[in-house]
């Protein structure tokens, strides 16, 4: 199972859409506090179209708690400051895909503890800022699943 981790997400509809992607793709969603919203917020429910009951979601009090829980797994961080293209990474079944908050991305201090090859980017045109968070998650999740021939999916 691929793990999707959102570090301090801020926008409920993005998290709802990501929850829906995880529910349909068989991924576990990790939400790292603080969150910029309440999990019962109407905008989150509407975007997730009530996939909350179908998604496997685990909350973590902060990044330290998340790191402890994921200590035995490889973590890949998605960042516009990465040098490795996400399609060049070779994903394993229990890997964690870590995504930062919509307005600021992952902090440099967090990225610094990861090896350069674990800091992934999605290629974009020069001078582009970033893709929408929910779209970024979908692109990378489905690449990881493709590499495993979409095991367990039909």
Which segments in the chain show pLDDT lower than 70?
41, 43-50
152 in any annotated domain: no
Q: pLDDT at position 54, please? A: 82
CATH number of residue 102's parent domain? 3.40.1280.10
Q: pLDDT at position 37, please? A: 82
74 in any annotated domain: yes
Q: pLDDT at position 129, please? A: 86
3-state secondary structure of 134: helix
pLDDT tens, residue by residue, 27-71: 999 999 999 888 776 766 665 556 777 889 999 999 999 999 999
pTM: 0.94
Geometric angle at alpha carbon 7, from 35 and 70, rounded to 5°: 120
133 in any annotated domain: yes
CA gap 55, 74 in Å, rounded: 22
CA gap 106, 57 in Å, rounded: 20
Split into its structural domains, the chain has a count of 1
């Amino acid at each position: 199972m691929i793990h999707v981790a959102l570090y301090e997400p801020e926008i409920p509809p993005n998290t709802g859409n990501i929850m829906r992607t995880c529910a349909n793709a068989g991924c576990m969603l990790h939400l790292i506090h603080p969150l910029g919203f309440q999990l019962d917020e109407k905008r989150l429910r509407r975007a997730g179209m009530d996939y909350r009951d179908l998604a496997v979601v685990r909350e973590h009090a902060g990044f330290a708690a998340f790191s402890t829980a994921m200590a035995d797994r490889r973590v890949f961080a998605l960042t516009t400051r990465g040098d490795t293209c996400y399609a060049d990474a070779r994903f394993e079944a229990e890997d964690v895909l870590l995504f930062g908050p919509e307005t600021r991305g992952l902090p440099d201090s967090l990225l610094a503890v990861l090896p350069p090859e674990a800091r992934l980017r999605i290629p974009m045109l020069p001078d582009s800022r970033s893709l929408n968070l929910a779209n970024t998650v979908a692109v990378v999740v489905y690449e990881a699943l493709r590499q495993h021939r979409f095991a367990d999916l039909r």
